[in-house]
Amino acid sequence: MKQLIFIQSCFILFIACQAIDPTVICHGGAGSVDPSRYVGKFKGTVLAVQLGYQKLKESGNALDAVEIAIKSMEVDENFNAGYGAVLTSDGEVEMDACIMDGSNMKVGAITGMQDIFHPITLARRVMEKTKYNFLGPKGAMDLAKKEGFEFLPKGTLATQRAKDSLERWRQAQNVSLGEMVGEGGTVGCVAIDANGNVVAGTSTGGLTGKMPGRIGDTPIVGAGTYADNYMGGLSATGTGEVIMKSVLIYDILKRVNLTEITIQKAAQDACDEMLERYEDDGGVIGVDRYGNTAIAFSSEQMSWAYQNKDNEIHYGINKGDDFLYNIAECKNKNCFV
């Protein structure tokens, strides 16, 4: 009888694993986004998801999928990561990134990066090429040189939008209007393959006008980025100081695995509670171990997109959004709302 129960359990587990739809879900940052910027955010997140999903279907490798999706947003000035990253109070770009593989619990994180296009790739190199989880500026930059990364001329990553945002921030300080961070945000991606392997990654330029050396939640495991095949994976965006205090992502995954609530409800509850307790907002995207998705935020907007079917991508930015992008129909025309 015990043997029969064991066989039945294995069969159920096998069927459950086979039923997982490969999924890629990305966000383009939480915060207050002007409507004139919506289409740029839509295009960027949809492209990131499409590239990630193609890679996932081709290779079956969730790690490659997350990296390529985030890389596409790191070269898109519509996002606060890589080219387009916001500036410190000194007018410099300082970037953080993290990637975590839920199949083996390996992680790579970096902070304070300058003059490279793809912090997420360097974070992956930390994970794969060193015995460490987290490297600060000197160690990470030394690794980038060793690994042959291209170093850009100083100031290349500072877009005009980032410069204008910093100037508005400086003017606000001069008239004692308090701390204005402008449009903040982060980019992130989570993927799960057909076997239930989960990977999460996040990349950011931080906050406009931040103190040089400031580190946000992005590279903090369990706060801004986390993946575990037994629980799921998430990437966070928003005000890093409160996301760190909340240990937001780990809190969400524990809620799911210790209770019977869905990952969507757990994520929205955690974001709402963070806003109520700390009076600051944020958001997350992710999947549980079965591939169920979560898109939750307490900020005014958060751009997001996901794909788990060959020809359809869902996307949005405001609460209640769920727009459908049909890849075949939209190939040669602008289909964004």
Distance CA 201, CA 124 (A): 9
186 a catalytic residue: yes
Distance CA 43, CA 200 (A): 21
Question: Would you say residue 288 lies in a domain?
Answer: yes
Comparing 91 with 184, the larger pLDDT belongs to 91
Question: Would you say residue 188 lies in a domain?
Answer: yes
Question: Would you say residue 112 lies in a domain?
Answer: yes
Is the model's pLDDT at 309 over the cut of 50?
yes
CATH number at residue 264: 3.60.20.30
pLDDT tens digit string along 187-209?
999 999 999 999 999 999 999 99
- Domain ranges, residue 77: 22-326
Torsion of CA 29, 34, 36, 37, to 10 degrees: -10
Distance CA 216, CA 303 (A): 20
Question: Would you say residue 331 lies in a domain?
Answer: no
Distance CA 172, CA 180 (A): 7
Q: How confident is the model at residue 52 (pLDDT cuts 50, 70, 90)?
A: very high
Half-sphere exposure of residue 263: CA atoms within 13 angstroms, side-chain side? 19
Residue 252 contacts residue 267 (beta carbons within 8 Å): yes
Model pLDDT, residue 190: 98
Chain centroid, CA 318 distance in Å: 17
| 281 token code pair | 């907002």
Model pLDDT, residue 335: 84
Question: Would you say residue 310 lies in a domain?
Answer: yes
Is the model's pLDDT at 47 over the cut of 50?
yes
Stretch 84-100: mean pLDDT: 96
Q: How confident is the model at residue 228 (pLDDT cuts 50, 70, 90)?
A: very high
Question: Would you say residue 32 lies in a domain?
Answer: yes
Radius of gyration of the chain (CA): 19
Model pLDDT, residue 337: 65
Adjacent-strand bridge partners of 287:
233, 293
Strand order across the 23-31 sheet: 134-135, 106-113, 95-101, 198-204, 187-192, 23-31, 301-309, 312-316, 323-326
Question: Would you say residue 332 lies in a domain?
Answer: no
Number of domains comprising the chain: 1
| 176 token code pair | 């004692």
Question: What percent of the chain has pLDDT above 90?
Answer: 84
> Of the candidates 115, 117, 150, 122, which has an alpha carbon nearest to the alpha carbon of residue 136?
122
Question: Would you say residue 290 lies in a domain?
Answer: yes
Average pLDDT score over the chain = 91
Q: Which of 23, 111, 186, 202 is catalytic?
A: 186
Residue 262: exposure state from Cβ atoms within 10 A (0-12, 13-18, ≥19): middle
Stretch 240-255: mean pLDDT: 96
Question: What's the whole-model pTM score?
Answer: 0.92
Residue type at 229 in one-letter notation: N
Stretch 322-333: mean pLDDT: 88
In the chain, the largest separation of any two C-alpha atoms, in whole Å, equals 77
pLDDT tens digit string along 129-163?
999 999 999 999 999 999 999 999 999 999 999 99
Stretch 258-282: mean pLDDT: 95
Distance CA 221, CA 214 (A): 17
